[in-house]
Chains A and B, each alone.
Chain A
Amino acid sequence: EVQLVESGGGLVQPGGSLRLSCAASGFTFSSYAMHWVRQAPGKGLEYVSAISSNGGSTYYANSVKGRFTISRDNSKNTLYLQMGSLRAEDMAVYYCARAPDPHYGDYGGDYFDYWGQGTLVTVSS
């Protein structure tokens, strides 16, 4: 059974940093591209970032480019999102999600087949 479990969320002051983790199990993690998607309280889904299966390619939405860094450790089956220069508008539940197809380009396809339960990031002074 595919499982994705996020952790690392919490309260951080504006301008601060936080690192999110996503522990994967139930599939060959190193074969799949992974993504982060966020959802502000009461709002819709917003795409954040992607990383290829070997970590060699990364993509960021304009809203986080230069402030967030996606990475992965395939030996630990874990995906990360290092967030810096946090703003009030970054406050959201952050979900990690798996791309469905290991053979479809750098980022594994055009949709997400499994999602974690999410971790809440609160940005407030």
Chain B
Amino acid sequence: SYELTQPLSVSVALGQTARITCGGNNIGSKNVHWYQQKPGQAPVLVIYRDSNRPSGIPERFSGSNSGNTATLTISRAQAGDEADYYCQVWDSSTSYVFGTGTKVTVL
């Protein structure tokens, strides 16, 4: 089965840049999507198909994907960006797969 690995936590200073990685075998050949989940709330799509932002998502959120690692970048981090972030792909053998999740703390 296909697996996605994320760091447990990432800390970023207010106004600086946070990078959250998502590792998977040849993940660069797949479409990667990212969700933000704040405590007690439902996930919200922040990036789809590697680097596309849904309407209403700030330009500070961006994504890239190559080789065995996809990355979600949060520029000019704000206190409101504190949340859990999950990557997700579709795999032909495993169907929809979520990453292990990363807790982002803004210092």
A residues in contact (CB < 8 Å) with B: 35, 37, 44-47, 50, 59, 61, 95, 100, 110-118
Q: Which residues of A contact B98 (CB under 8 A)?
A: 37, 44-47
A47 to B18, CA, bound (A): 27
A115 to B50, CA, bound (A): 20
Given contacts A44-B98, A45-B86, A47-B97, contact A118 B42 (CB under 8 A): yes
Can you list 10 A-B pairs with a CB-CB distance of less than 8 A? A37-B96, A45-B101, A47-B97, A59-B95, A110-B89, A111-B88, A112-B45, A113-B48, A117-B42, A118-B42
A18 to chain B, nearest CB (A): 20
- Name the residue of chain B whose CB is nearest to the CB of A95: B42
| In contact, B100 and A111 (Cβ under 8 angstroms) | no
Number of interface residues of B (CB under 8 A): 22
Query: Given contacts A37-B96, A44-B99, could you give 11 more A-B pairs where the C-beta distance is less than 8 Å?
Result: A44-B100, A47-B96, A110-B31, A112-B33, A112-B43, A112-B45, A113-B48, A115-B44, A117-B41, A117-B42, A118-B42
A114 to B45, CA, bound (A): 7
Q: Is B58 interfacial (CB-CB < 8 Å)?
A: no
Binary interface profile of B, 59-85, with partner A (CB < 8 Å = 1, else 0)?
Answer: 000000000000000000000000000
- Name the residue of chain A whose CB is nearest to the CB of B54: A113
A117 to B43, CA, bound (A): 9
B87 to chain A, nearest CB (A): 10
B27 to chain A, nearest CB (A): 13
Q: Which residues of A contact B49 (CB under 8 A)?
A: 111
Interface residues of B in 27-51 (CB under 8 A from A): 31, 33, 35, 41-45, 48-49
